[in-house]
Structure 1
């Protein structure tokens, strides 16, 4: 279970200024683009099954078997604030954070373990951003796709007008475009069915 202690101020994976430049749009479109940025950012977070923004969380593990490794759900981990076992805070010498984002305990433990840590990326609205460029590029590609298709029937797949004409419609949900999915592939967390 994860409890957010310090929530990020936003979740947008790109900025309005970047989108205006990318689309060569004007500030007159800013309200619509702000909504589109939020929507696309949310879509990418759902697709990747994760939160990208840097947040402080407490993750609780209820261990029924002894273990000396705790695989944290969020990454990249930027800091582990504390590790508690059955209500007692462990000394920093009793655990270490591996480069793989795993907390390694000096001894195997059993019971309720709480790890207080910060994980995620500093988003593009900050000068010290750490969000990988390919994640922002994926957001820009989706925004560009949505922006260029405005005013069209979203279910229209093809239309041929040779004499009589033919219209084909998309059935079911629309998948993530392949080029966007490949940009996001390294950041997707497996889902739990």
Structure 2
């Protein structure tokens, strides 16, 4: 596996995968209702980070300098997979190999695969901007996954507020409450139960190192 050093030159303005209004729409909350805004914004920040961690990458658009050394692909054609993608051609500021400027290369925009043609040597240094302008440009799958996790968190919080109440008695009447998930063989909460769906949505966005 190649040794990669990433230096952030210009950090992203936002790392959130959802806007507050988008989340409110998902949860069925009126955009004029601000009673939960602080909590919802915290969840957006929290679960956007969870998804980025699960996918092993940064989705937000940043300007970075990447240095690649060691165990690179075949010697006649170097290929590196940039960490911040998608990347458009115009966003690559410079590519150098052992200090020499390289202009004969090809970028696969969607995956960030950079192929160098001709002779080359280590280290390969690439200065570029890549990723999505968040939250507006976040793919629908990432927005959906974030919404599912926040919905689960909100459901778990609501359930926990009444979990200690088992029954209410008034004179001769008595009402008992049962936890629907309590009898489940797995005992999974709302967030855990959504795991398969979230993983399916995120799989194509995960970054794997080989």
Q: Which TM-score applies when normalising by structure 2? A: 0.73
2-structure distance, mates of 1:130, 1:10: 11
For the 8 Å contact 1:48–1:188, the answer to whether it is kept is yes
Residue aligning to 2:14 = 10
Shift of 1:2: 0.9
| Residue 126 of structure 2 is aligned to residue 119 of structure 1 | no
Matched, 1:185 2:197: no
Which residue of 78, 96, 108 maps to 1:84?
Answer: 96
Q: Deviation per CA, 1:67-115, whole angstroms, max 9, x where unpaired?
A: 432222332113211101222323x3x2222345222222131221101
C-alpha change, 1:131 and 1:64, in structure 2 (3 Å) is closer
Structure 1, unmatched stretches of 5+, are: 161-165
- Mapped to 1, the partners of 2:193 and 2:187 lie a distance apart of 15
Residue by residue over 1:98-138, the C-alpha shift from the partner in whole angstroms, topping out at 9 and shown as x without a partner, is 345222222131221101112111213xxxx3321111111
Q: Distance in 2 between matches of 1:35 and 1:143?
A: 10
Contact (CA 8 Å) 2:61, 2:84: kept in 1 or not? Answer: no
Q: Higher mean Cα deviation, 32-41 or 181-190?
A: 181-190
If you compute each CA radius of gyration, which structure gives the higher value, 1 or 2? 2
Given candidates 135, 145, 157, the residue that maps to 1:138 is 145
Q: Over the residues paired in the alignment, what is the CA RMSD in angstroms?
A: 2.8
Q: Which residue of 1 aligns with 2:53?
A: 46
Tell me which protein shows more strand as a share of its residues.
1
**What is the CA-CA distance between 1:191 and the residue it aligns to?**
5.5
Number of aligned residue pairs: 178
1: CA distance between counterparts of 2:193 and 2:121?
42
> How do 1:89-168 and structure 2 match up within 5 A?
89-90=101-102, 92=103, 94-99=104-109, 100-124=111-135, 129-153=136-160, 158-160=181-183
Alignment partner of 1:72 is 2:93 = no
Contact 2:65–2:128 (CA<8 Å) still a contact in 1? Answer: yes
Deviations 1:32-71 (A, max 9, x none): 1110111110111111111111111111012466443222
Structure 2's unaligned 5+ residue stretches are 161-178
